[in-house]
C-alpha cells in the first residue's frame, strides 16, 4: 500500500518516542507526519489539519491520551469522529486496555514498540476496519475483535433482549387488533 498521502498525528510527551515512531512510519512510506507534545497540542493540530491516523500516548500532561480520545470521538468541535486512533502505552494492563477501549481507541500498542507491531496495527485499520457503534455511553469502533456471522448459540445481549420482549410479545398476541383499529 502507498502511504505517501496518509497524514499521521503523533501525540506523545516523549520526543524520543515520537522520533522512533516517526522513523518507523517514514520507513513504511508515510511522508505527512505531525507531532504534538500532549493531548492539548494534539487537539489544536487535529482541528486545523486533515489527519488520517492518530497515534497517542496514554499518560501525558496536561491532557492525557484518554481525554484526547474522548474529545476526538464525542466533541461537536471534532472534525472527524471516525479517525482511527492507535494508543501507545508502557502501562499495558487490563485496566488501561479497558479504559482505552471505552474511550473509543481503535487499536492498542504496548511499549516497547516494534516496527512490526506498528505496521500490524496500521494494517488492521486499513484492511479490517471496524464498524462504529453508538450506544448510550459509548461512541467508537466496535469493541469486538471479530464478529462470528455463523454463530448459532444464544447471544449475550440477544438473550436478554428476547427475555425482556417475551411478556410484551405475549400481550400483543392476546390482543384483538380489531379493538385497536
pLDDT at 80 over 80: yes
Omega cis (within 30) before 87: no
Residue 135: band (very low, low, confident or very high) from pLDDT cuts 50, 70, 90? confident
The pLDDT of residue 22 is 97
Please give the backbone phi and psi of residue 127, each rounded to the nearest 5 degrees, phi first.
Answer: -95, -20
- How many Å apart are CA 41 and CA 33, to the nearest integer? 14
Angle at 70 between CA 66 and CA 72, to 5 degrees: 115
pLDDT at 150 over 70: no
Domains (range + CATH), the chain: 7-141 (3.40.50.2300)
pLDDT at 107 over 90: yes
What average pLDDT score do residues 161-181 get? 45
Please state the pTM of the whole predicted model.
Answer: 0.79
Residue 116 has, within 13 A of its CA and on its CB side, a CA count of 0
Angle at 24 between CA 23 and CA 28, to 5 degrees: 115
Strand pairing of 138-141 and 132-135?
A: antiparallel
Residue 69 has, within 13 A of its CA and on its CB side, a CA count of 30
pLDDT at 164 over 50: no
pLDDT in tens, 25-59: 999 999 999 999 999 999 999 999 999 999 999 99
By the 8 A CB rule, do 32 and 3 touch? no
Nearest to 33 by CA among 48, 14, 13, 54: 54
Q: Can you read off the three cell numbers belonging to residue 103?
A: 474511550
pLDDT at 173 over 70: no
Amino acid at each position: 500500500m502507498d502511504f505517501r498521502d496518509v497524514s499521521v498525528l503523533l501525540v506523545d510527551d516523549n520526543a524520543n518516542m515520537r522520533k522512533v515512531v516517526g522513523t518507523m512510519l517514514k520507513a513504511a512510506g508515510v511522508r505527512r507526519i505531525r507531532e504534538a507534545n500532549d493531548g492539548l497540542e494534539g487537539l489544536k493540530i487535529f482541528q486545523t489539519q486533515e489527519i488520517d491516523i492518530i497515534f497517542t500516548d496514554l499518560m501525558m500532561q496536561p491532557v492525557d491520551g484518554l481525554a484526547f480520545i474522548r474529545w476526538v470521538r464525542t466533541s461537536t468541535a471534532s472534525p472527524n469522529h471516525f479517525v482511527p486512533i492507535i494508543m501507545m502505552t508502557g502501562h499495558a494492563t487490563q485496566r488501561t486496555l479497558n479504559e482505552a477501549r471505552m474511550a473509543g481507541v481503535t487499536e492498542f500498542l504496548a511499549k516497547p514498540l516494534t516496527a512490526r507491531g506498528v505496521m500490524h496495527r496500521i494494517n488492521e485499520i486499513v484492511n479490517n476496519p471496524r464498524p462504529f457503534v453508538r450506544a448510550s455511553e459509548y461512541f467508537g469502533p466496535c469493541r469486538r475483535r471479530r464478529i462470528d456471522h455463523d454463530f448459532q448459540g444464544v447471544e449475550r445481549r440477544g438473550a436478554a433482549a428476547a427475555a425482556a420482549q417475551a411478556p410484551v410479545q405475549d400481550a400483543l398476541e392476546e390482543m384483538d387488533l380489531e379493538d385497536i383499529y
